[in-house]
């Protein structure tokens, strides 16, 4: 018997995803931002309270790279809300080229019940 359980069937929605990079060179960060741009994500870089665009246009979705944080070393790449749902959709449909995230660790995955 085939199991038909899914997030959708259980009314669960992906609300937040983040990947942690221990060391993320600027060139690699730019490569990731360019790749995500092609998938429809504008990229922003956040340092402290300052947020600046890395790759932006009129894309519908957003991703944020967060560094310079007193609580951890490295850089977080995070998707929130609809942005997380869209990234998860691409992942589920096997559209994501995971080699671009080769040095990343999935650090957070949040769901909510709809």
Q: Which of 2-6, 8-12, 97-101, 102-106 has the lowest mean pLDDT?
A: 2-6
pTM metric for this prediction: 0.88
Q: Is residue 3 part of a domain?
A: no
Q: Is residue 107 part of a domain?
A: yes
27 three-class SS: helix
Please write the tens of the pLDDT for every residue from 20-44.
999 999 999 999 999 999 999 999 9
Q: Is residue 108 part of a domain?
A: yes
Residue 47 has pLDDT above 90, yes or no: no
Q: Is residue 7 part of a domain?
A: no
Q: Which phi and psi angles does 103 have, rounded to 5°?
A: -105, 10
Q: Is residue 5 part of a domain?
A: no
pLDDT band at 89 (very low <50, low <70, confident <90, very high): very high
Task: Provide the domain count of the chain.
Answer: 1
The average confidence (pLDDT) of the chain is 91
Residue 54's nearest CA partner among 77, 70, 30 is 30
Q: Is residue 4 part of a domain?
A: no
Token pair, residue 57, equals 């246009």
Strand order in the sheet with 50-55: 50-55, 41-47, 61-67, 75-80, 12-21, 104-113
Please write the tens of the pLDDT for every residue from 51-71.
777 766 789 999 999 987 777
Residue 81's nearest CA partner among 114, 49, 51, 103 is 114
Residues 74 and 19: their CA atoms lie apart, in Å, by: 10
Q: Is residue 79 part of a domain?
A: yes
DSSP calls for 49-74: TEEEEEE-SS-SEEEEEEE--TT-SS
- The parent domain of residue 41 ranges over 12-113
Q: Is residue 6 part of a domain?
A: no
């Amino acid at each position: 018997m085939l199991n038909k359980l899914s997030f959708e069937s259980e009314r669960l929605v992906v609300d937040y995803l983040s990947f942690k990079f221990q060391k993320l060179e600027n060139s690699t960060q730019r490569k990731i931002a360019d790749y995500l741009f092609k998938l429809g994500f504008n990229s922003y870089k956040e340092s402290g309270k300052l947020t600046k665009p890395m790759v932006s246009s009129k894309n519908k979705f957003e991703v944020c790279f967060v560094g310079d944080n007193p609580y951890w070393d490295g850089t977080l790449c995070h998707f929130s809300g609809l942005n997380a749902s869209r990234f998860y959709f691409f992942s589920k449909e096997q559209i994501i080229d995971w080699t671009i995230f080769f040095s990343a660790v999935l650090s957070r995955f949040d769901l909510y019940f709809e």
